[in-house]
Structure 1
Amino acid sequence: MGDTVNADDTAKDRSVLRVGVVGVGNISGQYLQAIPRLTNLKVTAIADLDAERAAKAAAEVPGARSVKPDELYAAEDVDLVLNLTIPAAHAEVAQLAIAGGKHVYGEKPLAATTAEARVVLESAERAGVRVGCAPDTVLGTGIQTARAVLDAGDIGVPVAATAFMVTPGHERWHPAPEFYYRPGGGPLLDMGPYYLTALITLLGPVKRVVGMSSTPRPTRVVGSGPRAGTEFGVEVETHVTGVLEHEGGALSTLVMSFEVWAGQLPRIEVYGTGGSLEVPDPNGFDGEVSIFRAEAKEWEQVPESGGYRDASRGYGVSDLARALGEGVPHRANGQLAFHVLDVMESLLAAAKSGESVTVGSTCERPAAVPAAARPEVR
């Protein structure tokens, strides 16, 4: 995992943001592997409702200890709470962290509803702390290189985009998949944040949506682990499609589905007045970017021209720590995450009503990550 920061030194050096992790689920391993490489972060405490699981995770992170969740929120050696709980608990955990005077960075979505998310942001503003939220995949070289192409005008004025995420469902591999099919889950709220955050990073905020949705299968079956074969009910839409009107005028077509066994659709493509752009998987940090220019006869690969190199989950937290020290906005911020959640909620409302829905929020397009940028990495 690389060198570690001595706990006493960390307490003295406030350029290092001390992180307390709440929730030791599947995604936590990626954060706990990355954070020890980031010199402006230090994991000091880990908590989970399963104390044994928290202790096991803490034993693998030098300098970290396992604690109860309530102890973590009050801990003097925790500056930021990394909220890796299930979506239904995101808002509650964020509120507890903020009440303890901590900054908070959470897995997506920011909350199960915009009503809950709004309270989180308002509480953070009153407390004078920051809110960050995944995905930070858009900070990597893949999406940032694509953004650099668009910002340079290399495909002219963006006219439209497509974004597709299709899969049969996560129950095939996840040993406890029920939360994916309960409020706060579904393909849109689970995977939509990656695609919508990328589209907003590329094309700007969304002002209006139309959509349709369905739930073809009322039940699912756990496909792996000790509970394999267990049937459970589906409470959310499992296929969602819509059109997003960006404030700049571009129209994005979005398909998010847990109902497709196989597909050969592009992850994201952007179409402009002077060409087209192929964008890599927004659930990853890198990947090839290709451009087709109006005067060309074939696609050509774009050289890396933006983004944090060799990034992984946790770089959004490091970017928050950097921005906090510099007194500037961080990129994976609460306002962006709120707008993404608002777009998703509006899309589901449009699908239910059969009418277009105006998105009530907006956000600033986060600052681009320059080419060859790196946070302080060991």
Structure 2
Amino acid sequence: MGKPLRVGIIGCGAIIAQYLKNFRRLDDIDLVAVADLDPARAQAVADSYDGVRAVTVDELLAADDVELVLNLTIPAAHAPIALRAIAAGKSVYGEKPLAATTAEARQVLDAAREAGVVVGCAPDTVLGTGIQTARKAIDDGLIGAPISATATMVTPGHERWHPNPDFYYQPGGGPLLDMGPYYVSALVTLLGPVVSVIGAASHTRDTRTIGSGPREGEVIPVTIDSHVTGVLVHASGALSTLVMSFDAVKTKSANIEIHGSAGSLVVPDPNHFDGDVQLFTLGADSWQTLPISAGYIDSGRGFGIADLAATPAGVEPRAGGQLAFHALEVMESVLASAHSGSAVSIESTVARPALVELTALAAPLAEVQGISS
């Protein structure tokens, strides 16, 4: 207690830059080691960050000064790396999803419980001022009793900009499993756990053409559903409609809207940490933008680890493994329903994470803008 959480990172791909930038701002995080299958990538990170050493994966897992492993590997490796870290007696925080399947995710949670360590998981965007201000508005009764929500993510496909988009169109990919964790985690944070789902999905093209990078013009196969719609039934009785697409071109719909008996909320993009929350109340003439009232101010990737570090022993972190597992089961079940044509009950549940009081957890981002990440 009172000491920084000592963290080691496995996986030094592109996403690590965002974590490094924010770790420099967080006094509760002490980054001590990094590892990657490509030793040069790990060394490049170590060279850019004072006090960090580049090691092998085995060395990192055996290191006495690593208390938590930040798992930034590809989704297929999330569970294997997490299980190795847990076996070494270390807590784990991973990028989304928690694992490639709920079966693997359950192994991770069971192993952590037996070992007495903590599991956290992205997205921690739900801890920012955008989602949390919306959460407080709901808790304060500004929209009355919540009735429904819509969550919409539309893009013509990541192959237009990503130089190596293959995994988006293979099993474990697709718009729902790629972007759904942000939206489902936000919906559960706002409206509580889900008890059943029904889904529908389509597969419009068998190939995609890479639009940028050294492989530009290369045709890749598509083996997954590229447009998914689901209806989520929350334990509260609220109904959420989810639309995730790699097929459609554009939308004017808000990323998330919440509708209640006394008003409606426009909620900012759950892939971001901030953004305006707008409220329209029954009988009003126009939308009003709510003042920021909850969440970590000026936050970013890695704040979920700082939140975990500040969570009392025995209490589930807000960006915890239970929420990540529940979101993964919801998404898997939407896809299963789409293929079976029948509603699917959700076996897991999770407590609605506690509100984040309006908090300046770290130094302002502007103070580290000039530091290389």
Q: TM-score, normalised by structure 2?
A: 0.95
**Shift of residue 230, structure 1, vs aligned partner:** 2.0
User: Which deviates further from its counterpart, 273-282 or 232-241?
Assistant: 232-241
Does the alignment pair 1:270 with 2:253? no
For residues 277-311 of structure 1, the C-alpha deviation after alignment (integer angstroms, 9 at most, x for no partner) is: 11000000000000000021110111111000000
> 2:314 matched to 1:333?
no
**1:93-108 to 2 correspondence within 5 Å?**
93-108=81-96
Compute the displacement of 1:183 (Å): 2.1
Partner of 1:284: 272
Matches within 5 A, 1:209-248: 209-248=197-236
Specify the code of the residue in structure 1 equivalent to 2:151: A
Matching of residues 57-136 of structure 1 within 5 Å: 57-136=45-124
In the other structure, the counterpart of 1:374 is: 360
Moved more, 217-226 or 26-35: 217-226
C-alpha deviation, 1:328, in angstroms: 3.5
Structure 2 distance, partners of 1:68, 1:62, is 18
Q: Does 1:357 align with 2:344?
A: yes
Q: Helix, strand or coil: the match of 1:92?
A: helix
Report if aligned partners of 1:86, 1:179 keep a CA contact under 8 Å in 2: no
Matches within 5 A, 1:343-354: 343-354=330-341
The amino acid across from 2:213 in the alignment is G
Q: Secondary structure of 2:148's match?
A: strand
- On the 8 A contact 1:20/1:46 being kept in 2, the answer is yes
- Please list the CA deviations of residues 48-76 of structure 1 after superposition, one character each: whole Å capped at 9, or x if unmatched: 11111111122111111111112111111
Map of 2:371 onto structure 1 = none
Question: For residues 69 and 221 of structure 1, what CA distance do their matches in structure 2 show?
Answer: 35
Q: Percent identity?
A: 59
Q: Name stretches of at least 5 consecutive residues in structure 1 with no aligned partner.
A: 1-12
| Off by >4 Å, runs of 4+ in structure 1 | none
SS in 2 for 1:240: strand
Deviations along 1:97-128, whole A, 9 cap, x unmatched? Answer: 11111110000010110000000000001111
Given the alignment of the two structures, is residue 157 of structure 1 paired with residue 145 of structure 2, yes or no?
A: yes
Please give the per-residue CA displacement for 1:223-267, whole angstroms capped at 9, x wherever unaligned.
222222222212221110011100000000100011112221210
CA contact (8 A) 2:297 2:361 kept: no
Question: Residue 165 of structure 2: which of 159, 164, 177 is its match?
Answer: 177
| Paired residue total | 364
Deviates more, 1:22-31 or 1:313-322: 22-31
Mapped contact 1:319–1:375 kept (Cα < 8 A): no
- Per-residue deviation, 1:376: 5.1
Residue 185 of structure 1 aligns with an amino acid whose one-letter code is G
Secondary structure at 1:37's aligned position in 2? coil
The amino acid across from 1:347 in the alignment is V
How far apart are the structure 1 equivalents of 2:300 and 2:175? 22
> Does structure 2 conserve the Cα–Cα contact (< 8 Å) formed by 1:79 and 1:103?
yes
RMSD: 1.3
Residue 14 of structure 1, CA deviation: 6.7
Cα contact 2:133–2:292 (8 A) shared by 1:
yes
Match of 1:204 among 192, 212, 232: 192
Deviation at residue 150 of structure 1 after TM alignment: 0.2
Question: 1:156 is paired with a residue of what secondary structure?
Answer: coil
